[in-house]
Each structure stands twice: as C-alpha cells, then as structure tokens.
Amino acid sequence: MNIEIENLSLTIRNSNILNRISASVPYGSVTAVLGANGSGKSSFLKCLAGIIPYQGKIKTRLDKFGKISYVPQRPAVPIGMTLAEFVLLGRFEYTKWYLSETSLDREKCEEAITSLSLSQLAGRFVETLSGGELQRAVLARAVAQEATLLLLDEPTSALDIVNQIEVMSYLVTLQKRHKLTIIIALHDLNLALNYSDRTLLLKDGGMIGFGKTRNIMSAEKLSEVYKSPIEIRSQEDGNKTIFVKYNLS
C-alpha cells in the first residue's frame, strides 16, 4: 500500500511551481525530498498536506490510516505558551469544538512529551527553548496528533550538527515505534543518505528521480539537481559520504 501521487502540478500566478510529479511512496518509509532552493520542496509538502490547492491526484488513503501532520520550515513560536500547551494543540482535532481537552488528550500529550525526552521542559515557555528542543517539541505535537503521515519541511536547517543528528535519530525512532510514514525536505545530503529509505529529487519544480536512496543518490543526479559538481565516497566500513565541490573560482 502506497501513497500514490499522480501528475501533481502547482501553478501560482502563471508560474509553474511543480510540474507533473508522479511517485508511489510506501507506507512506513522515510522519504527525503531533495532539491536546490526554489525547486518546489516546500510547495510539494504543502500540496501533500492539503494546505494549498493543486492539480493532479494524491491518494493518501488516510481516511483509513490516520491523520497528516505538517511541520513548516519555521514553526511559529507563540510567546507565553508552555511546551505542554504547545504539544496539547496537537489534540485540537480530537476535542469537540465547544469543549476543552479531556484527561485522555492530556495523557496522550504526556506520552508524546516523554517519548521525545522533553518531560523536564514541559512547563517551560516555548520561546525559551533551544532550536533542537523546539524541533523536538514540534515532533511531540505531531506524535500527540497521532498522525500516520508526517510531512517535515527542513526540520534540521537551523540546527547545529549534533542537534541535526539528534532530531533525525528521534524521527527514525518514532517512525519505527508508531509505524509512521515520513516525507522530509532536507538540505543536508548526508542526513538524507543516512536516514531515508527513499529519495525524491526535484529540480525547478520537476522530478529528476525517485527511488531507493542508495540507488537514486548518484553523483550525476545530484550534480544535475544542484547544478554543482558532487562527489560520493565510500568509507572503509562501507558507508557512503557525500561531498559537494564548490566552484570558488
């Protein structure tokens, strides 16, 4: 069972943002969306989340399998909201419109906070959290939402390397524990190589390739996507590392 994307196109003010993208994303996989700035990664995720209208078909079958959670590139940081309240907003859809959250909602929220090791910070205001803690809080909100499809727009772009790896590790753990399907826009090619099962390559709104990460991430394809020479080296233990060669001249 897959998420079927057929001829997904997006046009805003006569400009083609996405152009006939078709892919079949398996449930329970981590898919990295790669591409240069302005290639349409964020728009692709927003279409999947149903936030912006698009042409084409997206069959998520989530009416059977659960909800979609979308995390934008820069999540809002409301002043004076505790981390617990921030995560509890993930239960919005589950509560009746005229009632407050039930104790079940609060328990789910507590579980989500604990699963991301944020219990000690639950009473802290979100504006006082570090970048890594904030990303974990956003993930906790998605867990509280009991989403089965997680759409993340560059969640690691503002983080240092340690926090990038920490957030990605939490993501993979959550994915395994809750059998999540994750589609994640990334800038760091090495993170994509190490943490994703599948990769979708975008260039100027068009799809350059989609498939298993190890197969699709070739030096040629990546060089084409980023319009810059890219090299992949194998380490002694068999792991691959990607180097980007900058043309400084």
Partner 1 sequence: MIKLERTVRDNAVFKAFKLSFSLKIATILCFVAATFSALFIGVTPLSPSSVLVEILNILPFLNLNSDLSELEATILWQWRLPRVFLGFFVGASLAVAGAGFQGIFRNPLADPFLLGSAAGAGLGATFVIILNINSWVINFDFVPVGAFLGALGATIIATFIGRIAGSAPASLLLAGVATASFLTACQTYLMQRNLMTLQEIYGWLIGRISTSGWSEVSLIAPCSLVCFFILFLHRKELDLLRLSEEEAVALGGNPKRTRRLIIVTCALLTAVAVSVSGLIAFVGIIVPHIVRLSMGYSYRLIIPFSFLLGGSFLVFTDIIARVAIAPAELPIGVITAFLGAPFFAFILILARGRL
What residues make contact with partner 1 under the rule CB under 8 A?
A: 46, 49-51, 68-72, 75-76, 78-85, 87-90, 92-93, 95, 97-98, 100-101, 103, 106, 109-110, 113, 122-123, 141, 145
Q: How far is the CB of 86 from partner 1 (least distance, A)?
A: 9
For residues 32 and 186, the answer to whether their CB atoms sit within 8 Å is yes
Alpha carbon of residue 121 to chain centroid: 23
Nearer to partner 1, 97 or 246 (CB): 97
Secondary structure element (H or E) that encloses residue 47, with its range = helix 41-49
Nearer to partner 1, 34 or 49 (CB): 49
Nearer to partner 1, 144 or 192 (CB): 144
Q: How far is the CB of 153 from partner 1 (least distance, A)?
A: 9
Tokens of residue 246, six digits: 């900058």
Q: How far is the CB of 244 from partner 1 (least distance, A)?
A: 30
Nearer to partner 1, 88 or 207 (CB): 88
> The tokens 């995390």 sit on which residue?
71
List the Cα angle 74/227/32 in 5-degree steps.
Answer: 45
Look up residue 13 and give its DSSP letter.
T
Q: How far is the CB of 60 from partner 1 (least distance, A)?
A: 14
Q: How far is the CB of 83 from partner 1 (least distance, A)?
A: 7
SS3 (DSSP) at 9: strand
The helix, strand and coil proportions of the chain, stated in percent and rounded to the nearest 5, come to 40, 30, 30
Nearer to partner 1, 77 or 172 (CB): 77
Category of 205 on φ-ψ map: left (φ > 0), alpha (ψ -120 to 50) or beta = left
